[in-house]
Each structure stands twice: as structure tokens, then as C-alpha cells.
A and B are shown apart, each in its own frame.
Chain A
Amino acid sequence: MDYKDRPYFHVAHARDLTGWDKILYRILEIIPGLLAWSTLIGVVVLSFLKPVWAAIFIIIFDLFWLLKTAHLSMHHFHNWRRMKHNIKVDWSKQLSKLKHEDIYHLVLLPFYNEGEEVITNTIDALIASEYNKKKILIVLATEERAGQEAQDLANKLKSKYGDTFGDFLITTHPSGIPGEIMGKGPNITHAAEEARKKILDFRNIDYKNVLVSAFDIDTVVWPKYFACLTWNFLTVEDPQKSSFQPVPLYNNNLWQTHAVSRVAALTSSFWQMIQQERPEKLVTFSSHAIPFKALYEVGYWQKNMVSDDSRIFWNLFMANDGNYKAVPISYPVSMDANLAPTTFQTFRNIFRQHARWMWGVENLPYMIFGFIKNKKIQTKKKIQHTIVQLEGFWSLTTNPIMIMILGWLPIVIGGEAFRQTILSYNLPIITRTLMTVAMTGLILSAIIATTLVPKMPQDYKRRKFRWVIMFLQWGLVPFTIIIFGSLPGLLSQTRLMLGRYVGKFWVTPKHRK
């Protein structure tokens, strides 16, 4: 039996299984949280009982972190150069050398109750893209639970833009289907299946020639996105076993939103840029593209869990016995940074959005469970992915806390005898020095960020001051990586460890000033 036909292929959590499988899956769900809490509690206990050991661990860890930062900065810088290069490349000219006329792009735009301005921005960018619009098939995926207002808006947009594209389909995902969560996954899965029946089959389009871009409703494509994507699709080895990942830049509204939101958003973008240079570690995230045939074969995105964007990669990886990859195209798509009517709401939304992203840890037990079950996947790949994913979630959650807070702990709770040692005095000096050197990497981030910022609106006053703030805001990173990185990560891992699964996809509100 193919792996995709096995009963646990679309498992969301341990509760969906029975017997030993359930026990095994449950243990795997506990591991990330257990690792994170063991580390944090371990450092606290060690600082109390064996402060010298704790200090040694912290110094070595700080040095490791500094060098890791340097290593990642190199990836970041290279990807920034590559992305800037790819933005300039004439992809249409490149494409003209290839047979590409049969390729279609099915663009899924799931929306719930976002405003017309957000959707028109997205569609206007699609129209502005340098690609044959008749090869772009739009699916505006609405939700029945959003009510008549959303339907009316969809119909209005179809009548306005319908003739511009190869097709413009409105789908309505029914509400209250058993086994589905309220979220993006069920909606785009429904939309993709509707599009298959009503567009692809109707027009007799070969599934092999269709690339599905699963976007968010605020995803604004850059002009050469489709040309670049098509070129990558046509030139990559084994295209039907490849997903394609653009760089998600959360920069649509950078000038309108709060400095904290900007830093949190750009930090997420930068992490994705780093991952673009480490393809063996890359997993689809947020807006991504998948060959329709591969997608159809695995039954589209899972409808019973939240982080469908990354899960689809693991579905495909398992279904293809490990012979599936995510291809970084190093070309940007833009999305909104968090913005709400009030600062507090903005901060709350950032936290909730990041908590949802961090809930991607639910893919870790699925991945390891699949590795155990699927004997056809190379052991090397299994080990590599397990280490990468485990280390990724562990470091994201624990490292900022260890570096920013726990570094001083042995001095505080290590006792008087330890406080008199040279080691105790040197610990904060070394930690501070290493962190200061590491933070110089922020200057690179600040420089890169300024090149990714959209044009400042003409009516803005105090323009130079705003640019200064745009640069200085990077000083917030030590706080944002803990508050919007570690804490939501720890929350998600703890929930998974305790079996308190997230059962609803929290839709990030899109607010425009």
C-alpha cells in the first residue's frame, strides 16, 4: 500500500489514532515541549546547584550562538544579494528559451471577511505581473460562514476582474463539515477540488502543467513572480516532486505599522531568506506553490489541522518516499505586517500570529512518525530532517531566553561562594561582549531591511526621522525575539506536550490605515 493510502496519512494528532500508534504519536508530541522545558528548568537547577557548571555551559553556548549567528548572517546576506539579482533578471526572456506555453498558474486566494481594499491590492498586483494573464486562473475562495456580505464582495470582484484572467472562479467552502477545523486548509482544499472540476477538467488542462500558488489574501506578487516560478518549475530536476517557495516579505504596510510589528515581521522574512540558502532544511511556509498533480495525488491540504502550509510538504515528502523537495526561488512576494487599530491590539495580533506559526511544531510528530512508518525513506534523510526540525524548534524557543535572561542566573542564585569567584565576575562580561558582537549582525539586518522597505507615502511628514526610526528599531530585537519568538513557541510546544491541541485557525486581521 502506498504511504498516502495508509489510514494515518492525514493524521492531525495522537487522538486520531488508536493502539500503539496513538501511544507512539503521543510520545512524539511530548518531545519538543519536554526538550524545551528540560533545557530551561535544567539551566535554572544547574545555576542553583552547580553554578560553575552552569556558567561553563552558558559561556560555551554564548560562543556557539555567536558563531551560529555569523554563519546564518552569511546565508542571509547571500540570499539578499540573490533576491535583489532575481528581482532584476528578465525572467520572461529566460522563459522564452523554454517551452512554457502550456503552463497554467492556479492562484488560490482564500478569504474570510477581509476588506475590499486588501483583495483589490492583491488582484491588482496579479494584473500587473509580467505574465500572460490568460494563463493565470484565479480562485477566490470564500467561506460560507462569512455570510452574504463576503459573497457579494466576491461577485463584485469577479464582475470587475473576471475577464482579465484565464478564469475567475468563486468557491464557497461550506461551514460545519465534520472533521474539519475552521481555517485556511479546508477552504483551499475545497477551492482546489472545485477548480479541478470546474476549470481544469472542464477545459481539459493536463494536471502536470498546472502550478498552484496557495496565497494569503494579502499576498502581493512582484511583477516577475509567475515568470520566475515557471522558469524554476521548468528547469528544476523532477518538477513534479518539487514545491516552490518564494520569500515572504511582510512589508506591504511597513510605513503604516508599529516599529515592534516591523521588527517582528522582517525578522520572520529574514529567517525565510536564510532558509532559502539551506534548501535541505526548507519546508513550505505561508505563500507557496505546488504542482497540481502532486497536490491532487495526496488529497490537497489537510483539513483537520492548523499549519497546513508546512504539513503539505511533509504529506508530499512521505507520499513520495522522501523523494520530494522544496525549491527556494529567491523571489519575493509581499504580505502585510501586523497592524490593528490600537498598539495593544497590534501587539496582541503579532503574538497570536506567531503562536499560530509556532504551532507548526505539530508537524514534528507527524514527520518522525512518518519516518518510523515509511521504510522506503533513506535513513540519512530521516536523521537529517529529524535533527534539523528538532533543533529548529528547540533553539527558537529556548535560545533567546537562555541568552538574554538565563546568562545571569548563576550569579543571582548561585550562592555567595560562587559570587566571589572570578568566573562569576567574568560571566556577565563575557556574555555581554559576545552578545554585543553578535548584535552587530543587527546592523546588517538594518541595512538589508532598508532596501526591502516600500516607498514612503508622499504625504508623510518628518521623513528623515522616520528613516532613522526604521534603522534604530532593530534595537528592539532582544525583546521581540523573546516576546514574539520564544514565548509563543513555548506556549505552542507546551500545548502540544499537554495534548491541548489548537482546533481553530486564527485568521490574522488585515487592517489598513
Chain B
Amino acid sequence: MKPLSKKARLGSGIALGIIFLILAPILLANSFGYHWEKVEDVFTFVKAGGIYVGSEISGVEIYVDGEYFKDSGLFIRNTLVQDLKPDTTHTIVVQKEGRHDWRKTLPVYESLVTESKVLMLPIEIEKREIFPFMIGEVGTTTPDKDSVIGKGISEEFLVEGYIPTNPLYKELVNSFSEEVLNVYSTSTIVSSSEIPTLGEEPLATSTEEIIPQYFTDLGIDDPSALENLIITSDQMAWIENGNIKLTWIDDEKPPFYYCFEIDVCDNEIIIDWQDEILKFDFLPGRSDVFVVMVEEGVYAIEADGRSDRNIQPIYTGTDLDFNKSIRDQIVVKDGLVFYEMRI
């Protein structure tokens, strides 16, 4: 058997060279957002823009301006929608069975990508009741063998006169309590005004302590007067006039949901609800979505206000309360019952 002939090798080299010469400009043009488009019966090379649809959910269907675009597939979560006409807006709808649709109308710019992130909570959110006593994996409302009669503890924190044994339940009772930090301790009684909310840095209330610069920059002299104040590493939010005020406090450029046009960003977002927002927190794992409690229930709402905000229910009803558990899950308190919401 003969070695590969020079002719065959040269032929392969030339063929691949031609493929290279053809593919290289096509790839580059495509990378820059150019595509062929029929304009008035003539094919023209036009420059387009795109929308990046960030998602934590795979297998979603994406529609652009009412037309099916693609299925993100079993493993791919994020999708780049390309070849969109620039200098106008396009409506993206993302759907998946069993979850709320996500709809957003976003501006598109030439050769640039407009970023977005979907909010698609399950329509039926699985909820798990947190029982006061530990029996088996599920728990029970009946005192177990380890239960002790609560003496010196307020009746409202006892179940059938016993101190609950489920640590998660006790933690939730504590976190929802407005009176004391640790209701099951007779020795440590702390004022609720000193309780930091989860994700919140302790506030400087003493006159000797220094108030962080970002408060001063915003003209806030007394941070402790802010309602439901939550501070993360780069954002700060509180309730003002029944709405959420979200502020970017980092030196870096704010993320996409602060930017109403490309490179035109505000450092402040107001999440305006038609009714009064009673309480809020960030949705676990998301810095751009809030869990808010209003009179009718607990909802998730995105901060991104570039078009109508997507609002999705977590738990509806009245006389509710919610908190984050130590497992960073949303827990809704409905009457005397705690439900951990599996979002």
C-alpha cells in the first residue's frame, strides 16, 4: 500500500484552503451581526442586533415578535436571539409547560446585544409544611417524646403547651416573631429593632458609629428609619411610600436591568405596585427579582422595568407573612402554619 500521494495531500490542502477562504468571511460577518435580508425584493447585507435571554431553566420555547424562534434544548439554558432588526423594539416570549410565561419588549441596537433574564416560576409551586415536632422525615403537630413543657415562655409560642422540637420550625417562629429574638430562650431577650434582616448588614444606629458612604451619597442621615432596608454587596433596597426603591451602590457599572438604553443607566429603580407593598426580600438566587407581600398575597416581581414587569404569584391569600429560612428558601406563614415554598 502506497503512502498518501502528494497529489492527494495537495488536493486536500487546496480544498480545505478554499473552504477556509469561503468560511472565514462568513463566520466573521455572522459574528459581527451581519446577515442577508430581502429588502424590497433585493437581498442586502444588513447589520443586526440581538437579545440575550438568560435563563436558569432549560428546555424553554422562545418566541420573537409572535413567531417561534427556537427551543433552548435539554441542556442549554441561555439563548442568544440574533439577526434582529436594530433601532426598534422586539417582544420576546419564553414559555415552558407548568411555568408562567415570561414576556418582555426590549430595544435592539446595531451590533449590540440587549441583555435580559427570564422569570418563570412554576404555576403550581410545591409547598412543604414545616411541623413543630420531629417524627420521621415529615414531622408532626403532635408533641414527640423529646418534647418538654414550656415554662416561662409565652403561650403563643408553644404547641399544646410544649416547646416545639423541630429546629427549623423554631427558627421560623423566631424569625417571624416581632417581639423577641429567641422566643425559646428565657435568658436572651433582645429587642427586635436590633434584628438584622437576612442579607442585611448590621446598621449603625449609634452616633459614634460611622454611616456608610452610600447612605451619605443618597442623602440618608438615619438609615434605621428606612423601612425593610436590605443591603447586599452591590445593591440596597427599602420600602418608600409603599413602593420598593432599589439602588445600585457599587462603583462598577450597574447591570442590565438598571439600563433603559444601551449605556444609559440609572442607579435607581422604583418598583411601583398599585397597592401598598408591606414587605419584600430578594428572591433566593436572584438579585433582580423581589418577593413582595401585598394585601392579596406573596408575589415575585422583576426589577427590570424596560417594559411591563413580569409578576408571578407565589402564594395568594390574606393575613400572610413570609421570610427566608436558614436554607435560603421562601417560607410563607399562613395563620399559624409555615409553608416552605419550593420555587
Contact = CB atoms under 8 A, between A and B. Distances in A.
B169 to A, nearest CB: 45
Contacts of B13: 71
B31 A430 contact: yes
Nearest to A69: B16
B24 interface: yes
Contacts, number: 82
A68 to B, nearest CB: 8
B111 A64 contact: no
Interface string B146-157: 000000000000
A74 B50 CA distance: 38
Given A71-B12, A71-B16, A422 B23 contact: no
A67 B111 contact: no
Given A427-B31, A430-B31, A422 B49 contact: yes
Given A63-B20, A422-B32, A277 B9 contact: yes
B1 interface: yes
Contacts of A279: 3
Interface string B75-86: 000001010000
A182 B139 CA distance: 74
Residue of B4, B9, B48, B52 most packed against chain A (CB within 10 A): B4
- The B interface, classified by DSSP as helix, strand, loop or mixed, is mixed
A464 to B, nearest CB: 27
Interface in B41-84: 48-50, 52, 80, 82
Given A63-B24, A67-B19, A429-B80, A423 B31 contact: yes
B262 interface: yes
Contacts of A82: 1-3
Interface residues of A, number: 35
Contacts of A330: 3
Interface residues of B, number: 32
Given A74-B12, A78-B4, A82-B1, A423 B32 contact: yes
Contact of A425 (B19, B113, B253): B113
Interface in A335-381: none
B27 interface: yes
Given A55-B31, A56-B28, A59-B31, A423 B3 contact: no
Contacts of A382: none
Contacts of A421: 111-113
A277 B113 contact: no
Interface in A33-75: 55-56, 59-60, 63-64, 67-68, 70-71, 74-75
23 contacts: A56-B28, A56-B31, A59-B24, A59-B27, A59-B28, A60-B28, A63-B23, A67-B16, A81-B1, A82-B3, A85-B1, A276-B3, A277-B3, A420-B112, A422-B31, A422-B33, A422-B113, A423-B31, A423-B32, A423-B33, A425-B52, A430-B27, A430-B31
